[in-house]
Chain A
């Protein structure tokens, strides 16, 4: 059973991650997790101390748990750049700050880094309003480039094909062919995937209400730094880790909102997709990296996630995830692993690490932190 410990400052509660049932449990790792959550209350997504919180927790867990593989995600700069109007100098400082934080972590931990920028950001030029279709358009989560189109009329398709800010409209079957999908892969996939031109974001009835200043750039290539060897595709990162884990303690470090132009370390350009498709920094990109193969069908862009959001859904603390993804790197390696991040529920679902800590903030509202213990047998 995976244990979930929520920490709402000076108050903790424990649940079965899958069922959400309250549980009582003890033991070294439970106490370790409770202790680290208590020691480091989450300061908030846009707080200047948010990225430091990631390093502090990771360093604390490294000292107590001695993992060989660490998965980190730093996201404060992404939230701030997304929502705060700032000039170029302020943005650059924010980027410098996160690299300084990464440097601190590497210096204090002694881990060999693989640093990956998940993609740059670009100013939001305008919304593409899809609210008046005969069919239903869904823009999933924080996506800007992609929207799903369900049940469109022929008039919808004519209108959308003529829209100057829509780059392409892709039929479900074409997407399945591109990624060798079939059978169950099609279940969640919308009939059409709409692709916006650079700088434009879809606005659908279910979009988030807060207007961003900058949005994901959905880059064809993302930057990667590591002294461990050459990698030119995001799906090759996992093998690089597995090939080197015997010799090195490795930290796979993700930087949100950082593309090739912002990356401050010597970099290799890493292919971030296939043909015309490039990953936005969502679950698909994470899973493609941690699984070593493109995984865009688990929770595809523009699917009707709300249809699955009933009270009966398992993994109630895990956002739209309905099951624990299999074949992730943490699950696949025999060595101890941890994951820490300040971007939503991804750490405990996409890494498979033994011990995971993440902020529990939704739409910037700081509810506290979540610790998940997947494994107690290593």
Chain B
């Protein structure tokens, strides 16, 4: 039986677990090997994940499972995503959907966001959590590599209401060598589809000298889908198999984004402490409408929110956001 969750479309059997090693088949259905096993339930500001245009200032419970369907050479979470999931289980939290949602409430979180590994490897569990979360009035979002099949993209859209999709590179050579996939086409298809029906932001880690020459083309492709899609360009830190690589030069990457900024309204360049390029500017008049502070490595914060009615305070142009600004302590988090 073939898996239909991602474009690897692996042959599964009772002891055949596919590329991600997270599913098996009993001959009739696809089943998770490790349902409802989580590697964390942390607390992060939504800007840190990053989502810059979703419920600014809100508090998220961040979750993850184990494994991945990609093999990126520079994975920052390789100590989870690249490990054998069997080995990982001894450290995982075993929490039912109801328990997950209750913990989110105890932590005072407004959303649950999957951000450690790839949600496509744990779709059934996430679907169960989403049902429980929806009943409790808690929304869900995720980071994803977008390598889902068309049918599982629809499933993703039924679970999550906001997405940050990683577009890592365009050339087949890059995708083969650095990501381990034959083509980025499924990812572009997923961005297009989810942008039609949901809130989408896109993230691209830049490896200087490897994929920085594609930035302009990527911006053009994203703009062709929707120029309002926020694009997060990450300064990639040397990690994992690339830990000996050079640190990307911030000025050079920023210069490479000059042309891209004429194509997309919201380009952010961060993943380093103190970035100057994390504020939202009005696309019409250039007024700063949202100010943020970046600590890099998952530490971005909302500082000032200046478009209370969703409009630029100077010219009145609408600023595309999913949801309103949320006070950090709105939920209270009472136990």
B274 touches A15 (CB 8 A): yes
B211 CB–A CB distance under 8 Å: no
Would A205 and B293 count as touching, CB distance under 8 A? no
* A15-B274, A368-B273 known; A206+B43 contact, CB < 8 A: yes
The interface size of chain B toward A, counting residues with CB under 8 Å, comes to: 51
Question: Which of these binds chain B: A2-10, A247-255, A295-303?
Answer: A2-10
B255 within 8 A of A: no
B67-119 interface (Cβ within 8 A of A): 76, 79-80, 91, 93-95, 99, 103, 106-108, 116
- The answer to the question of B256 belonging to the interface, with a C-beta cut-off of 8 Å to chain A, is no
With A20-B303, A310-B329 as contacts: A365 and B237 at CB distance below 8 Å: yes
Most buried by A among B41, B57, B249, B296: B296
CB proximity of A202 to chain B, nearest CB, Å: 13
Q: Which of B47, B91, B107, B237 contacts A205 (CB 8 A)?
A: B107
Bound Cα distance from A131 to B106, whole angstroms: 12
A9 B247 Cβ-Cβ under 8 A? yes
Contact A309/B297 with A8-B272, A20-B303 known, Cβ cut-off 8 Å: no
A135 at the interface (CB under 8 A from B): yes
Closest residue on chain B to residue A304 by CB atoms: B333
B295 close to A316 (CB less than 8 A): yes
B245 to chain A, nearest CB (A): 12
Complex CA gap A342/B134 in Å reads 44
The reply to whether B79 and A132 contact each other, CB–CB distance below 8 Å, is no
B95 surroundings in chain A (CB, below 8 A): 131-132
Does A317 contact B295, Cβ atoms closer than 8 Å? Answer: yes
Nearest Cβ in chain A — how far from B273, in angstroms?
5
Interface string of A339-357 (1 = CB under 8 A from B): 0000000000000000000
Q: Is the CB of B273 within 8 A of A6?
A: yes
Question: Are the CB atoms of B99 and A132 closer together than 8 Å?
Answer: yes
A306-B43, A311-B293, A311-B302 given; A211·B328 CB < 8 A: no
B301 interface residue per 8 A CB criterion: yes
User: Cα distance A41–B249 when bound, in Å?
Assistant: 13
- The answer on a CB contact under 8 Å between A210 and B293 is no
A10 touches B301 (CB 8 A): no
- Smallest CB gap from B77: residue in A: A209
Cβ-based interface call for B276 (8 A): yes
Interchain CB contact under 8 A, B333 and A362: no
Closest CB in chain B relative to A44 CB, distance in Å = 8
Instruction: Output the least CB separation between B5 and chain A (Å).
Output: 24
Residues of chain B within 8 A (CB-CB) of A151 are 106, 334-335
Residues on B with beta carbons closer than 8 Å to the beta carbon of A322: none
A211 to B80, CA, bound (A): 10
Compute how far the CA of A366 lies from the CA of B240 in the bound complex, rounded to whole angstroms. Answer: 12
CB distance from B281 to the nearest CB of A (A): 15
Is B251 engaged at the interface, CB distance under 8 Å to the other chain?
A: yes
Q: Is the CB of B273 within 8 A of A367?
A: yes
Q: Which residues of chain A from 73 to 96 have any CB-CB distance to chain B below 8 Å in the complex?
A: none
Q: Is B250 located at the chain interface by the 8 A CB criterion?
A: yes
Select the residue from B95, B249, B299 with max chain A CB neighbours within 10 A.
Answer: B299
- Give Cα distance in the complex from A136 to B333, angstroms: 10
* With A132-B95, A307-B108: A8-B40 Cβ-Cβ less than 8 Å: no
When the two chains form their complex, are residues B250 and A10 in contact, meaning their CB atoms are under 8 A apart?
yes
Q: CB of A200 within 8 A of chain B?
A: no
Minimum CB–CB distance for B214 against chain A, Å = 22
B40 in complex: contacting residue of A136, A205, A362, CB < 8 Å: A205
Q: Does A103 contact B (CB under 8 A)?
A: no
- Chain B 273-299 interface mask (CB, 8 Å, partner A; 1/0): 111100000000000000011011111
- Of the candidates A211, A309, A360, the one whose C-beta lies within 8 Å of that of B43 is A309
Contacting pair A311 B40 (CB below 8 A): no
Residues of chain B within 8 A (CB-CB) of A209 are: 39-40, 64, 79-80, 116
Q: By the criterion CB–CB under 8 Å, are B57 and A310 in contact? A: yes
Is residue A207 contacting chain B, with contact meaning CB distance below 8 A? yes
Known: A205-B41, A311-B303. Is A362-B295 also a contact (CB below 8 A)? yes
User: A46–B38 Cα gap in the complex (Å)?
Assistant: 27
| Chain A hits for B99, CB < 8 A | 131-132
Complex Cα distance, B276 from A6, in Å, reads 12
Contact A362 B299 (CB under 8 A): yes
Q: Measured between C-beta atoms, what is the minimum distance from B45 to chain A in Å?
A: 7
Once the chains bind, are B41 and A206 in contact (CB under 8 Å)?
Answer: yes
Contacting residue for A365 out of B76, B274, B275, CB 8 A: B76
Q: Which residues of B contact A365 (CB under 8 A)?
A: 76, 237, 239, 296-297
Interchain CB contact under 8 A, A10 and B302: no
- Is the CB–CB distance between A367 and B106 below 8 Å? no
Would you call A276 an interface residue if the criterion is a C-beta within 8 Å of the partner chain's C-beta atoms?
Answer: no
Write out the residue numbers on chain A whose beta carbons fall within 8 Å of the beta carbon of B79: 209-210
Q: Are B250 and A362 in contact (CB-based, < 8 A)?
A: no
Interface residues of A in 111-148 (CB under 8 A from B): 127, 129, 131-132, 135-136
Q: Which residues of B contact A309 (CB under 8 A)?
A: 43, 45, 328
Which residues from 1 to 32 on chain A have a C-beta closer than 8 Å to any C-beta of chain B?
Answer: 6, 8-11, 13, 15, 20, 22
17 A-B pairs within 8 Å (CB atoms) are namely A8-B235, A8-B274, A8-B296, A131-B95, A136-B106, A136-B335, A151-B334, A205-B40, A205-B103, A209-B64, A209-B116, A210-B79, A306-B107, A311-B303, A312-B328, A365-B76, A368-B273
B binding-site residues for A, Cβ under 8 Å = 39-43, 45, 47, 57, 59, 64, 76, 79-80, 91, 93-95, 99, 103, 106-108, 116, 235, 237, 239, 247, 249-251, 272-276, 292-293, 295-299, 301-303, 327-329, 333-335
- Residues of A participating in the B interface, judged by any CB pair closer than 8 Å: 6, 8-11, 13, 15, 20, 22, 41, 127, 129, 131-132, 135-136, 150-151, 203, 205-207, 209-211, 304, 306-307, 309-313, 316-317, 360, 362-363, 365-368, 370
Which 4 A-B residue pairings sit nearest by Cβ, starting from the closest? Answer: A151-B335, A310-B328, A311-B302, A13-B274
